[in-house]
Structure 1
Amino acid sequence: MSPAALALILALPGPAAAAPKNPDTLVYLTRSDDLGIDPARVGDGYSRHLAATVYEALVAIKPGTRDEFEPRLSTAVPSRQNGLVSADGRTWRFPIREGVQFQDGTILTPEDARFSFLRRFVATGSEGLSDELLRVLLGLDPEPERPPAAAELLRRAREAVIVEGRDLVFRLARPSPSFLAILAADGYILSKAWCAAQGDWDGTEAGLGKVSGPQSSRSMLQSALGTGAFRLERWDRAARQIVFSRHDGYWRGPARLKRVIVKAVPEVSTRVLMLKNGDADVIAASVVEEPLIRGLPGVKVFDGLRQPNRSPLMFFNFHVEPSGDSDMGSGRLDGEGIPPDFFCDKDVRLGFAYAMDSGRYVREVLRGRGRAASGFIPPGLPGYSKRGLEFKHDRRKAAAHFRKAFGGKLWERGFKFTVLVNTGSSWRPALVDILRRELAAVNPKFLIDTRVVDWSTFLDRAGKRRIPLYVQGVWEPAGDPLLYARALLHGRGRMALRMRYEDPRADALVEGAEASQDPASRLIFLEKLQRLAREEAVFVPVAEPRGDVLRVQREWVKGYRFSPYFPGAPETSDYYELWKG
């Protein structure tokens, strides 16, 4: 943002009065487009927030808490105390609420709830926490390249998820302290009849090809029908916006808002101008954009809202998948590119780790709100280590490791590759620019540049392992440190799979922690995992922000409360709780 553009925005007059425009419609401006709204395929926080607007789960995390739950489509939160969880922790019973309407007026049944979980297991390309559900419910931890046959998954799922009267019953393969959190984050309920009418899966073995197999991607739901407070009215891809309208038959009572519009506006100056003029009610913003926003009349800024995640992390791809539009340059160690296994060299990873100036990132980008990150476990969770696991910026150490990499050839020849950043993000390009400058200071032959792509493209290429290095965060439900350990370090964890990282030592430690029922023993496993990740420089935790993402809204937006485990919070929120006045 140029100073001239900033001055122009601040000089333009806002609404003359505090009366909201379109008082029954809330407009939220985000940075970039979503991936979709199919519950079996959403994985990022932004897409999850869209799904949470239309769909509901059996239980929800109570707003403002980390591990307290409240009923949704189940009338009770199962526990041993109320008799809905067996003594061995492997049988969970959820009484399904009666009289709940889907947004087409049909009534929710226990069979709809069962169908939703069966579909999630058999749907090819499932994202999010499906791998956790596979392990916890079905006892499966399949190799990605050799997934179980859809028919076998369906057979196992039908045995693990059953209906008894009005109850949905889960038979877990093993007890899991995170089961409720996984269901709350990833257990949205669909209508079986509606899915079949859309040409999607009908629940039969014969129809599995609709959601599983090489042709399944075309069947990804492009519309939505749930029991939530808002229904999907229109998805205008040309205008890059999604329109939700109120579900008047909602079982908790109709929302105060009649309509919610979520629109992708990558340019921050446009988002700020629309907010100032009252054409937007809430916008995506971080501390990077705070100077544009702070002091605008009629605008309220909530800061210091710490997200329960680990972000930013610098990820290395140990085996980049070559493609026609490769970001590896020449694809060789010749000074014009990098080979696919570039980051398999430990000295390369350590060189990058010591070259990254986390202190500068905290000062210049976070504007002092944070500190250098120590380990992969977020602050406040069991196993967090405040000090001792940082990579302190050190050009000499970086140079020493780079000189050893590839037998000295890297230092002589240099490298060149591209880092992808998503449209609308301010902190990602700023972080990559700091890294770029520091690498060039270590050796002028070390060159990286950036390429801006849509968020959906960024996630797609990361998932297909086509990005050599990228910056992203990791979020796990209810702050379970074991879920962070598995996602990042186990060979079949979702982030480790993207990195193509696999180490039998890490696998054994993760599995040992998961098998232990003793909290003290688990902490020992986690401590060893933290040290291993640091010693091997598997990835680089850059900083621990202290409220780097802001909640920015017009003062006429009422009812907002920060719920740290709502997907995409604090920029997003439960629209059912909001109104304008």
Structure 2
Amino acid sequence: MRKIFIIALALFIAACGGKKESDKQTLIFAHKGEMQSLDPIYSYDGVTQGLILNIYDTVIKFKGSSISKFEPLISTQVPSIENGLISKDGLTYTFPIRKNVKFHNGEILTPEDVKYSILRFILSDRAGGPSNLLLEPILGVNSTRDGSKFTITNKDIEEAVKIEGDNVVIKLKRPFAPFLSIMARWSYIMNKKWCAENGEWDGRLETWQKFNNRERDDSYLFNHMNGTGPFKLNRWDITGKRLSLLSNENYFLGAPKIKNILLMTVDEPSTMRLMLESGDVDVAEISQKFDKQYDGHEGIILADNLPRLRTDPAIFFTYEINTTANPDVGSSKLDGKGIPHDFFTDKDLRKAFAHAFDYQAFLTQTMQNKGTLANGPVPPGLIGYDKNAPHYNFDLEKSKEYFKKAWGGKVWENGFKFTITYNTSGEMRQIACEILKRNIESLNPKFKIELRGVPWASFLEKTDKRQMPMWSRGWIADYADPHNFVFPFLHSRGRYALSQGFKNPKLDALIEQAVNSVNVSEREKLYSQIQKIAYEEAPQIYTVHPTALWAFRKNVKGFYDNPVFMGIYFYPLYKE
């Protein structure tokens, strides 16, 4: 397997015009998972977003490893009430735009490009995409659509984002506590003229609806990039799961020391280890489960136990399963040979599953104690996290009690058969599913669970179509605020709640109240209340908040980590 990788890698380097892997100016980075699209408005996965932050600059950025302090980037100042760039009512933010910044195609960035980029991000609004991150604070909605009807007007858009001289001015619908954190991570700036010349939205309000919720491949930016960041796209070999970058020699903060970067998908852990040991790979993402395999290797350094704003794995119940031609639900009846479409709407059933997971063993044995037990969706490091909050513990007797109550006793009497799904590159998610399966089946011989790993693209499609009765996935922060966890997990319009068909009006109201408050103590109380309701409802099983682990060849220097990067920021790296 490794020999195949090396031959393919050598051919790829040659085709890209890259230098030998030993060259100090070339960095080879191995990651798990696959990129879905290079368009910032489409991709909502960690692998792709970890790449994009190296290509497109944002208006402001996080200061080093901090998740609460910011620095200027495309904006020359970070807005605050003290410097007058945030209005006293907390609604208007002014960003003074830096001059003489060049895009990768040589054109000069203007305030119009910044305005265009923000509007393109929110108005493209791909179903299941990241547009809601800016839609919610700027236009006060989570989607531009309600069914086939558009929910925003051109007047709303005109009033939201304006240009005043060299400034871009954004007016929010209501105070939104984490707005700067979102802008530091998601305000990718692209070239309006270049986009329009290549068939993308031209920036006119009369035409934006034509570019709303398009298919992935319809975008020119699916496989093209033109940012102002420290690196630029050279080549994307989609079939070979490899991508190459070149340094941006005109970067306004100075050219990167690394001139060529090769990114490649390596899902097999033993192959990853061999390539690191031999120097065929310089940097790699590895699982905590395999950290002991690197003990004693002098050429490799582990950046271990890195803090993450992450809840992963979590296990999700689908409340309204799409049973049409669906092998994962068996007979589609509660007859011992399958499950019905509304199987998991029974709260006792969900609690039975929650008590059947061995949380401590998973953290200790599988995660090597590299993380924290999860009491809810909000991870340590954010307001709203409470290590003493109510949580489910491993108790098979309690699990049995709840199973006997579920569906009026029919679950215990008849049994069930269905499939739990995980993505094929998610080792920890697979193990979590295996633990749950083993414990559930030990309670009753009529309980039968099958496990299935599917490729990431298929996994996403099956999730959106609600074809998976139960599935394992995780969440890593898009920005550093508890709203970014409670909303996707628990709000009826959130990413996971939508995929599950989970709705709780009381939770929706509390979540919206919490994000609109700028009072920290009030937000603390609201998030505590939200997670107590989530505990009682048990819509998901939260296992751990893991830390991260990167492996480096010893000569790679300059690395620093930030919990919201989702990948590695290559700009400060160099080789000795």
* TM-score normalized with structure 2 length: 0.92
Residue identity in the other structure for 2:194: W
2:201 maps to which residue? 201
5+ long unaligned stretches in structure 1: 6-18
Alignment partner, residue 14 of structure 1? none
CA distance in structure 1 between the partners assigned to 2:220 and 2:150 by the alignment: 19
Task: State the secondary structure of the residue aligned to 2:473.
Answer: strand
- For 1:48-447, list aligned pairs within 5 A: 48-125=49-126, 127=128, 129-142=130-143, 145-146=146-147, 148-149=149-150, 152-208=152-208, 210-212=210-212, 218-219=218-219, 221-222=221-222, 223-322=224-323, 324-447=325-448
The number of equivalent residue pairs is 558
Within 2, Cα distance between the matches of 1:292 and 1:220? 42
Cα RMSD (Å): 2.3
- 1:434-482 Cα deviation digits (max 9, x unpaired): 1110011112222222222222332332233332222222233553223
CA distance in 1 between counterparts of 2:127 and 2:97 reads 25
The superposition leaves residues 325-349 of structure 1 with CA deviations (integer Å, 9 ceiling, x where unpaired) of: 5532333222232222221111111
Instruction: Point out where structure 2 has 5 or more consecutive residues left out of the alignment.
Output: 3-19
- Name the CA distance, whole Å, in 2 between partners of 1:508 and 1:206: 34
TM-score of the pair, normalised by structure 1:
0.91
What's 1:561 paired with? 560
Tell me the amino acid that sits aligned with residue 191 of structure 1. Answer: N
Distance 2:372 2:230 in 1: 39
Output the CA distance in 2 between the equivalents of 1:143 and 1:111: 22
Contact 2:256/2:571 (<8 A) preserved: yes
Going from structure 1 to structure 2, the CA distance change for 1:528 and 1:229 (only over 3 Å counts) comes to same
Separation in 2, partners of 1:141, 1:273: 45
Task: Describe the shift of the 1:402–1:220 C-alpha distance in structure 2 as closer, same or farther (beyond 3 A).
Answer: farther
Q: 1:255 to 1:122 in 2, by over 3 A?
A: same
281-290 or 469-478: bigger deviation: 469-478
339-348 vs 372-381, which deviates more? 372-381
Asked if structure 2 preserves the Cα contact closer than 8 Å seen for 1:416 and 1:446, the reply is: yes
Distance 1:459 1:295, change over 3 A: farther
Cα pair 1:40 1:126 within 8 Å, conserved: no
Whether the 8 Å contact between 2:176 and 2:518 is mirrored in structure 1 is no
Measure the CA separation in 2 of the matches of 1:517 and 1:260. Answer: 41
Tell me if 1:580 matches 2:572.
Answer: no
What is the match of residue 491 of structure 1? 492
Rounded to whole Å, the distance in 2 between the matches of 1:357 and 1:552 is 29
2:535 pairs with 1:534: yes
Instruction: Show CA shifts across 1:357-386 (max 9, x none).
Output: 112211220123345322222123222221
Q: Is the 8 A contact 1:316 1:468 kept in 2?
A: yes
User: How far 1:119 moved relative to its partner?
Assistant: 1.2
Q: Which moved more, 1:368-377 or 1:497-506?
A: 368-377
Does 272-281 or 414-423 show the bigger shift? 414-423
Q: Output the CA distance in 1 between the equivalents of 2:39 and 2:417.
A: 38
Q: Report the Cα distance in structure 2 between the residues aligned to 1:126 and 1:579, rounded to whole angstroms.
A: 39
Structure 1 residues 174 and 388, CA gap change in structure 2 (3 angstroms): closer
Q: Rate the CA distance shift 1:173–1:371 in 2: closer, same or farther, 3 A.
A: closer
Give the share of equivalent positions with the same residue, in percent: 36
Equivalent residue number for residue 11 of structure 1: none
Task: Say whether the 8 Å CA contact 1:373–1:544 is kept in structure 2.
Answer: yes
Query: What SS does the corresponding residue of 2:291 show, helix, strand or coil?
Result: helix
| Contact residue 294 and residue 301 of structure 1 kept, 8 A | no
List per-residue Cα deviations over 1:15-57 (Å, max 9, x = no partner): xxxx971321111111121121211122122211111121111
Aligned residues of 1:130 and 1:186 also touching (Cα < 8 A): no
What is the DSSP-based 3-state SS (H/G/I as helix, E as strand, rest coil) of the residue aligned with 2:305?
Answer: coil
**Which letter maps to 2:159?**
E
Q: CA deviation at 1:126?
A: 5.6
Report how far residue 210 of structure 1 moved. Answer: 4.8
Tell me the SS of whatever aligns to 1:409.
Answer: helix
Measure, in 1, the Cα distance between the counterparts of 2:258 and 2:561: 19
With over 3 angstroms needed to count, the CA separation of the structure-2 counterparts of 1:22 and 1:418, relative to structure 1, is: farther
Sort the Cα spacing of 1:144 and 1:199 in 2 relative to 1 into closer, same or farther, 3 A: closer
Q: 1:176 to 1:214 in 2, by over 3 A?
A: closer
- For 1:260, what is the secondary structure of its paired residue? strand
Which residue is 2:5 aligned to? none
Aligned position for 2:505: 504
Q: Which amino acid aligns with 1:562?
A: D
Q: For residues 63 and 465 of structure 1, what CA distance do their matches in structure 2 show? A: 39
Report if aligned partners of 2:389, 2:532 keep a CA contact under 8 Å in 1: no
Residue 80 of structure 1: how far off its partner (Å) = 1.3
> Could you list the per-position Cα deviations for residues 142-194 of structure 1 after superposition, in whole angstroms to 9, with x for gaps in the alignment?
596526528x4544222210111111110111122211111112110111111
- Equivalents in 2 of 1:201, 1:477: separation in Å? 25
Deviation digits for residues 472-528 of structure 1 (CA, Å, limit 9, x no counterpart): 222335532233222222212222222211111212222332344433332222222
Q: Which moved further from structure 2: 424-433 or 107-116?
A: 424-433
Residue matched to 2:14: none
Question: What is the SS of the residue equivalent to 1:576?
Answer: coil
Query: 1:509–1:190: structure 2 CA closer, same or farther, 3 Å change rule?
Result: same
Change (3 A) 1:573 1:348: same
Partner of 2:471: 470
Is the 1:112–1:189 contact (alpha carbons within 8 Å) kept by the matching residues of 2?
Answer: yes
Query: In 2 relative to 1, CA 424–508 (structure 1 residues): closer, same or farther, beyond 3 Å?
Result: closer
